[in-house]
Structure 1
Amino acid sequence: MDGASSDPALNEGLLPLGSSRANRWMVAEGRANLVRQPVLPRPATVKTQGKLVTFDLARTALVVVDMQNDFCHRDGWLAHIGVDVAAARRPIAPLRRLLPLLRGCDVPVIWLNWGNRPDRLNLSPSLLHVYNPNGAGTGLGDALPGSGAKVLERGSWSAAIVDELPTEPTDIHVAKYRMSGFQDTELDSILRNLGVNTLMFAGVNADQCVLCTLQDANFRGYDCLLLEDCTATTSPDYCMAATIYNVNQCFGFVVGSEAIAAELANGASKGTNRD
Structure 2
Amino acid sequence: MSTLTDRPHTALLVVDVQNGVVAGAYRRDDVVANVADLVRRARQEGVPVVWVQHSDARLVRGGDDWRIVPELVPADAEPLVEKLYGDSFEDTELESVLAGLGVGRLVVVGAQTDACVRSTLHGALVRGYDTTLVADAHTTQDRTQWGAPPPEQVVTHTNLYWTHQKAPGRTAGTVATKDVDFATTA
Same fold by TM-score greater than 0.5: yes
TM superposition score category, shorter chain reference = 0.7 to 0.9
Amino acid at match of 2:64: W
Task: Give the Cα–Cα distance (whole angstroms) in 1 for the partners of residues 12 and 42 of structure 2.
Answer: 8
Match of 2:32 among 62, 87, 92: 92
Unaligned runs of 5+ in 2: 1-5, 143-149, 167-171
Residue of 201, 207, 218 corresponding to 2:114: 207
Equivalent residues of 1:88, 1:205 under 8 A apart: no
Alpha-carbon shift at residue 87 of structure 1 (Å)? 3.0
CA distance in 1, matches of 2:13, 2:73: 15
1:181 aligned partner: 88
1:247 to 138, 143, 162: 162
Partner of 2:11: 61
Q: Which has the higher contact order (CA 8 A, sep 6+)?
A: 2
In the aligned structure 2, how far is the partner of 1:206 from the partner of 1:85?
10
Counterpart mapping for 1:188-267 below 5 A: 188-235=95-142, 236=150, 237-251=152-166, 252-260=172-180, 263=181
- TM-score by length of structure 2 reads 0.81
Aligned residues: 165
Deviation of the 1:175 alpha carbon: 0.7
% identity of equivalent residues: 32
Unaligned 5+ segments in structure 1 are 1-37, 40-55, 74-83, 117-140, 142-150, 269-275
Q: CA RMSD of the aligned region, Å?
A: 2.0
TM-score, scaled relative to structure 1: 0.56
SS of equivalent to 1:158: coil
Aligned counterparts, 1:76-155, within 5 A: 84-116=24-56, 141=57, 151-155=58-62
Q: Is the 8 A contact 2:25 2:139 kept in 1?
A: no
